[in-house]
Amino acid sequence: MTSRVFEELVSALAQLPGVGRKTALRLAFYLVDRRELAGELSQALGAVYDKVRECDMCRNLTQSDLCEICSDRSRTASICVVESPADLRSIEDAGLFRGRYFVLHGLLAPLDGVGPEELGIDKLLEMVRETEAEEVILALDATAEGEATCSYLARALEPKVAQVTRLARGLPSGASVEFADELTLSQAFEGRRKA
C-alpha cells in the first residue's frame, strides 16, 4: 500500500524519538490493520493537541492556566528546574521533592538557535520572585549542554535567590534525568551542591 495519506503517517511516525523509517512503516501497517486502536489514538492525540498547554507559571503541561503543582499550596518554597515534563515526572514519581518545578523545554544550544529566551529564563526569574523561592535546584542532564545551561542559570539566579544548587554527580556523566533509576536520582538529590 502506498497511498499519500499512508506515506504521511509514516513520515510523521518517523519523527518520533527512537523511531526510524523501518519502525515507522511497521507501526503504520499495524495501525491500518487495527482500526479501533487507530481511532483511539487519533482521539487521544486530538485531545492532547487541543487541550494541553503550558502552565502560565512553570511551563509544565496542564489543561488550565496553572498546573496542579503550582496550584498546590502545600508545596515548599523551592523550585526544581528541569529540561522537560518527562524529567519532572521522573522526579515527582520518585517522591524526592515537595517544591515546585520550572520546565525549560530544552537546554541552551546556541548553534541550534536555542537561547535564554526559548528556555523562558525571564519567566523563571519571575517565578522565583513571585513564589519567594528560597532555593533553586538545577536538575539537568550531565551532558555538555546540561552543564552549560547550569552555569548560565547559576549566574542569572545567584543575585535573586538565597541558594542555587545542582544535582550531585550520582548521575554519571552523560546520563539523562528522565531515565535515571530512583536510587541514582535520590543520591543525586541528596548530594546536591552549590551551583
Q: Under the rule (CB under 5 A), what is the footprint of Zn ion? A: 55, 57-58, 60, 67, 70
Nearer to Zn ion by C-beta: 67 or 140? 67
First-to-last alpha carbon distance for the chain, in angstroms, is 55
Q: Which three cell numbers stand for residue 170?
A: 550520582
Nearer to Zn ion by C-beta: 58 or 164? 58
Q: How far is the CB of 107 from Zn ion (least distance, A)?
A: 20
- Spatial separation of the C-alpha atoms in residues 155 and 158, rounded to whole Å: 6
Nearer to Zn ion by C-beta: 10 or 137? 137
Q: How far is the CB of 70 from Zn ion (least distance, A)?
A: 3
In terms of Cα–Cα distance, which of 161, 159, 81 is closest to 119?
Answer: 81
Q: How far is the CB of 119 from Zn ion (least distance, A)?
A: 16
Nearer to Zn ion by C-beta: 99 or 116? 99
Q: How far is the CB of 67 from Zn ion (least distance, A)?
A: 3
SS3 104: coil
Asked if 170 contacts 139 with a C-beta cutoff of 8 angstroms, the reply is no
